[in-house]
């Protein structure tokens, strides 16, 4: 809790900046008026219909991806794991491309059911392949990672073929795959995605103790009364809910699920409940800061939040890897 308070303050600053800053310059007083239902109609529309939904979406998406990263890293016992490792992102991507090429879907709200279905299908496929490839009834983390890599490669190839055949689809898809909050209007998308993200966050919090035990290995886990297969399926379900909800809100954002858990682990250590809590808060804050930065860098135009996250995330992740490797074993 003591560590959570500064994190929440950072998140609050990010949220305030996200509401204050945009391509249409509004004074803080005007924004405050708009938030309280006063002011001119243009300011009310900018703040309530654009900036606030965008802030909520960034908050949900960032928190979901960071928590999904923690769950993935816990289950695979690999700190370089991210939500894309188990076929979730690849499944979402291929489903969204099919939605574009076959059904002509072009809006974030339209991508939602496809992103969820694809995420779930990718996850199930990896689980089935992992279990089939394992000699045991429950696939080991290493088998799951290998199955995830194979299935992701396969789905990635399918996505690539579809996009190569159709450059118009590529044009629509690139906004989704880069990750952007600019296309959000109102709360339609957020309202659909939020229940999934909240369910995933609750499931992850309830799963924290199990993640601590999973880290000790399957045999110890079994000895402590845990059922490894059930635990993994719960974890996969959690990741699917979180990633499906996150990509629906803001597209496919890189690095949040990788960088944030590793950075937070330096503060909280390996115990999962505080790690999950602070990752959620700082994942949301990082996404909002990246979005605000994207609005400022090429003002009055915008850089998509996914581009800014990649620019920030790459160097930060390298620094984290170097720092981690230098620490004594």
Partner 1 sequence: MRRSVAVLASLSLLTGCSATNETGTAETTAGRTVATALGDVTVPGAIDSVVVLEGRRDLDIVLSLGLPLTGYPYEGPETGIALELPIAAALTAAKAQGARRLFLADEINIEAIAAATPDLIVGRLEDVEPIKAQLQAIAPVIPVGTHDDGQTWQQDLRLVADATGTQTRAEELISAFDTRRDEIARTYATQIAATPVAALGYDLEGTEVESGRLQTVILENLGATLSAAHRTAGDDAAEFSPEQTLEAYRDAGALLVMADTDDEWAAAQKDALFAQLPAMRANAVIRTDKMTHEGGPITATHVLDLVAQLYDRV
């993935």: which residue's tokens?
72
Rounded Cα–Cα distance for residues 10 and 253 (Å): 20
Rounded Cα–Cα distance for residues 75 and 68 (Å): 11
Least distance to partner 1, CB of residue 153, Å: 24
**Whose Cβ is closer to partner 1: residue 33's or residue 212's?**
33
Peptide bond into 300 cis (omega under 30): yes
What tokens appear for 276 in the block? 């999950």
**Whose Cβ is closer to partner 1: residue 96's or residue 282's?**
96
**Whose Cβ is closer to partner 1: residue 110's or residue 217's?**
110
**Whose Cβ is closer to partner 1: residue 15's or residue 123's?**
15
Least distance to partner 1, CB of residue 130, Å: 33
**Whose Cβ is closer to partner 1: residue 180's or residue 287's?**
180
Least distance to partner 1, CB of residue 171, Å: 9
Least distance to partner 1, CB of residue 108, Å: 7
What tokens appear for 172 in the block? 């629509």
Least distance to partner 1, CB of residue 32, Å: 17
Dihedral sign, Cα of residue 132, residue 238, residue 270, residue 15: positive
Contacts 24+ apart (CB under 8 A), 181-185: 181/54, 181/57, 181/58, 181/61, 181/249, 181/250, 181/291, 181/304, 181/305, 182/54, 182/302, 182/304, 183/107, 183/108, 184/50, 184/53, 184/54, 184/57, 184/108, 184/249, 185/49, 185/50, 185/53
Least distance to partner 1, CB of residue 91, Å: 20
> Which residues of this chain interact with partner 1, rule CB under 8 A?
22-24, 41-42, 44-46, 48-51, 100-108, 110, 165-169, 172, 175, 180, 182-183, 185-186, 300-302
**Whose Cβ is closer to partner 1: residue 55's or residue 101's?**
101
Least distance to partner 1, CB of residue 16, Å: 17
**Whose Cβ is closer to partner 1: residue 44's or residue 205's?**
44
């Amino acid at each position: 809790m003591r560590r959570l308070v500064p994190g929440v303050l950072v998140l609050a600053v990010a949220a305030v900046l996200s509401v204050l800053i945009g391509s249409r310059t509004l004074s803080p007083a005007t924004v405050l008026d708009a938030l309280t239902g006063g002011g001119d109609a243009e300011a009310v529309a900018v703040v309530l219909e654009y900036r606030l939904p965008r802030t909520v979406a960034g908050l949900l998406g960032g928190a979901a991806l960071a928590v999904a990263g923690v769950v993935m890293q816990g289950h695979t016992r690999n700190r370089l794991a991210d939500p894309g490792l188990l076929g979730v992102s690849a499944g979402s991507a291929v489903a969204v491309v099919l939605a574009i090429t076959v059904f002509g879907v072009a809006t974030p709200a339209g991508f939602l059911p496809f992103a969820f279905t694809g995420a779930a299908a990718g996850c199930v496929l990896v689980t089935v392949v992992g279990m089939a490839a394992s000699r045991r009834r429950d696939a080991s983390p290493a088998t799951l990672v290998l199955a995830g890599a194979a299935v992701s490669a396969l789905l990635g190839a399918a996505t690539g073929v579809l996009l190569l055949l159709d450059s118009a689809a590529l044009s629509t898809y690139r906004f989704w795959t880069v990750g952007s909050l600019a296309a959000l209007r109102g709360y339609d998308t957020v309202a659909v995605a939020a229940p999934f993200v909240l369910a995933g966050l609750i499931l992850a919090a309830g799963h924290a103790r199990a993640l601590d035990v999973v880290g000790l290995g399957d045999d110890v886990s079994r000895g402590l009364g845990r059922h490894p297969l059930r635990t993994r399926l719960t974890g996969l379900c959690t990741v699917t809910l979180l990633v499906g909800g996150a990509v629906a809100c803001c597209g496919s954002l890189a690095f949040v699920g990788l960088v944030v858990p590793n950075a937070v682990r330096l503060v909280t250590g390996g115990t999962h409940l505080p790690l999950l809590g602070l990752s959620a808060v700082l994942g949301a804050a990082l996404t909002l800061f990246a979005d605000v930065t994207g609005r400022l860098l090429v003002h009055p135009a915008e850089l998509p939040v996914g581009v800014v996250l990649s620019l920030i995330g790459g160097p930060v992740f390298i620094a984290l890897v170097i720092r981690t490797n230098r620490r004594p074993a």
